[in-house]
Structure 1
Amino acid sequence: MIGAIAGDIIGSVYEWHRIKSKEFALFSPRCFFTDDSVLTIALADAILTGTDYGQIMKAYYRRYPGAGYGGRFHRWAKSRDSRPYNSWGNGAAMRISPVGFAFDNLEEVLLKAETFTAVTHNHPEGIKGAQATAVAIFLARTGKSKREIRETIESTFCYDLSRTLDEIRPDYRFNESCQETVPQAIIAFLESTDYEDAIRNAISLGGDSDTLACITGGIAEAFYGGVPEVIREKAMAILDEDLRRVTEAFIRQYVRFNLKEGTVPG
């Protein structure tokens, strides 16, 4: 989960100043946590406490109203009406990483990803994007190879993961849909050599950088067996005390890895 949060924070300064290179300062002095981290931690809180996720999201929204939410989420969070709004936006995938870490079989991961996502993003593409992300994290943390992860995501969700980053990067633009964010984020992980390289891959696409890196970061953390300590410490220091407390509690309770023999954690 900290992998997703760190990806969000690192990508935060490139969302509106997009780059097409892997050469950039990993932590700019202007880095900050966005709605991606806030709603990820809200989900972790809901899982830890068994509290309704919709209620927790609205509570976190009131505590962090300026975190950069989309317009439809703003309206939903401020409304007394808690019905979902049929979104296919990539917000479904950016906040789902706790599910991939907290549940211990594929069927439950799929079910929980759908349940937590459909609170707002009940469009089939929103649910699909969240499920694909959570499943990739689950497979990664339970020791599956990149080939196995690729084949499972392609066969289960019909995402095309055949393109390379070099093929995607030239024409790729900012896109808030799951359809045009989740496959790219997964490919950024698949082409990576370690956690940091995965984050650099995602941001170098020049898209919705914080969300791409958030999605990629959760998968990379799970596959490489963690996040480098210097990155972890810097990300945790940027969170406020309340967000840090929930994050640390979730990590203690749920973040564990079952790596293949010979795998070297990142």
Structure 2
Amino acid sequence: MALIGAILGDICGSQYEFRRPHNLDWKNCELFTDKCKYTDDTVLSIATGMWLLDETNKEPWEFYLEYGKKYSGVGYGEMFEDWLYDDGNHVNESFGNGCAMRVSPIMMYFNGFSDNPDAFKFYIDIARYTCEKTHSHSESYKGASVVTSCSFMARWGRSKEEIYKYALRFYPSSQYTYGVDRPLEDYRKNYVWSATVQDSVPVAIRCFLESEDYESFLRNVLSLPCDTDTIAAIGGGIAEDFYKKTLDNSNELLERYLPKELLDDVSKIYNEMP
């Protein structure tokens, strides 16, 4: 049920996206404060879920366009905003991390599929499909696919070691500045804020790999000088799929931070998924 994990990650991380204190006590700080809010990560993740439920054969980008315009001013990237207010009339060749933070509902929708290679490939194809109009770049296709694949493995009981070895095939530090094989302790010293998918996905996965539960995953994200809301949204879905839960007060938190219409959409997604 990865959507709540992504949404709570977004809300928690929003308070430090651009203003994380250098000396933040990330091990003990309050995770949800009056400085938290939902952002584009939440809006577009919900849009993905509503597209999956749609029976009118609309494209995913049509839902991104609809929800993006309906919920304006929630932190969209510059390229996405240009696309949004051009009514989606051009293809964005973006490799921003937005392509990977909105895929959590995919595993929810296809939860009834069996654990087999054909299903695995199908998930990847769907993840790539969500990128085509807004993030038409090879790194975006890779990022969305790897996040979805890691959720698939987490949902079906694969170990962290198996998930790690899979992610390492795509994000080794020999090819990427922030490979999934580098420990968080390195990133706490050397990470530089980035909104690209290739600098975000392996770090989000690493935050999950070094966690013990959903809360410790969030704290791992807050330990880094990173795009906290998006990295927490990306890894939050994987963490929820692996640990099979988020926080004990998740419903109260959703009610606290989401407007009624989005909260209703979340309920619809959870109640109507196959």
Give the alignment's TM-score, normalised by structure 2. Answer: 0.88
* Letter matched to residue 217 of structure 2: A
Q: CA deviation at 1:169?
A: 1.1
Counterpart position of 1:5: 7
Report if the CA contact (8 A) 1:203-1:210 is conserved: no
Counterpart position of 1:116: 130
Other structure's SS at 2:95 match: coil
Counterpart position of 1:199: 218
Counterpart position of 1:147: 161
After superposition, give the CA deviation of every residue in 1:46-85 in whole Å (9 maximum; x if it has no partner). 0011432111111111211111101111110111343321
* Partner of residue 225 from structure 1, selected from 244, 248, 261: 244
Partners of 2:272 and 2:241 lie apart in 1 by: 15
Other structure's SS at 2:197 match: coil
Counterpart position of 1:15: 17
Other structure's SS at 2:239 match: helix
* Shift in CA distance, 253/146, structure 1 to aligned 2, threshold 3 Å: farther
Q: CA deviation at 1:36?
A: 0.4
* Shift in CA distance, 17/158, structure 1 to aligned 2, threshold 3 Å: closer
Q: CA deviation at 1:151?
A: 1.1
Where do 1:35-54 residues align within 5 Å? 35-50=40-55, 51-54=58-61
Report if the CA contact (8 A) 2:65-2:87 is conserved: no
Greater shift in the superposed pair: 24-33 or 97-106: 97-106
Report if the CA contact (8 A) 2:183-2:206 is conserved: yes
Other structure's SS at 1:180 match: helix
Report if the CA contact (8 A) 1:140-1:219 is conserved: yes
After superposition, give the CA deviation of every residue in 1:154-173 in whole Å (9 maximum; x if it has no partner). 22x24432211111111112
Q: CA deviation at 1:178?
A: 0.8
Q: CA deviation at 1:251?
A: 2.0
Where do 1:158-169 residues align within 5 Å? 158-159=171-172, 160-169=179-188
Partners of 2:146 and 2:193 lie apart in 1 by: 20
Partners of 2:108 and 2:166 lie apart in 1 by: 18
Q: CA deviation at 1:221?
A: 0.5
Other structure's SS at 2:193 match: coil
Give the alignment's TM-score, normalised by structure 1. Answer: 0.91
- Percent identical pairs in the alignment equals 37
* Partner of residue 95 from structure 1, selected from 102, 110, 127: 102
Q: CA deviation at 1:18?
A: 1.6
* Partner of residue 27 from structure 1, selected from 25, 29, 32: 32
Q: CA deviation at 1:12?
A: 0.5
Q: CA deviation at 1:183?
A: 0.4
Other structure's SS at 1:249 match: helix
Counterpart position of 2:147: 133
Partners of 1:137 and 1:251 lie apart in 2 by: 17
Partners of 1:80 and 1:63 lie apart in 2 by: 13
Partners of 1:61 and 1:77 lie apart in 2 by: 7
Partners of 1:72 and 1:134 lie apart in 2 by: 23
Partners of 1:173 and 1:78 lie apart in 2 by: 30
Report if the CA contact (8 A) 1:54-1:82 is conserved: no
Query: What is the number of equivalent residue pairs in this alignment?
Result: 254
Q: Which runs of 5+ in 2 are unaligned?
A: 114-118, 173-178
* Partner of residue 244 from structure 1, selected from 225, 241, 263: 263
Counterpart position of 1:171: 190
Report if the CA contact (8 A) 1:76-1:82 is conserved: yes
* Shift in CA distance, 232/149, structure 1 to aligned 2, threshold 3 Å: farther
Counterpart position of 2:208: 189
* Letter matched to residue 83 of structure 1: H
Partners of 1:151 and 1:111 lie apart in 2 by: 21
Counterpart position of 2:233: 214
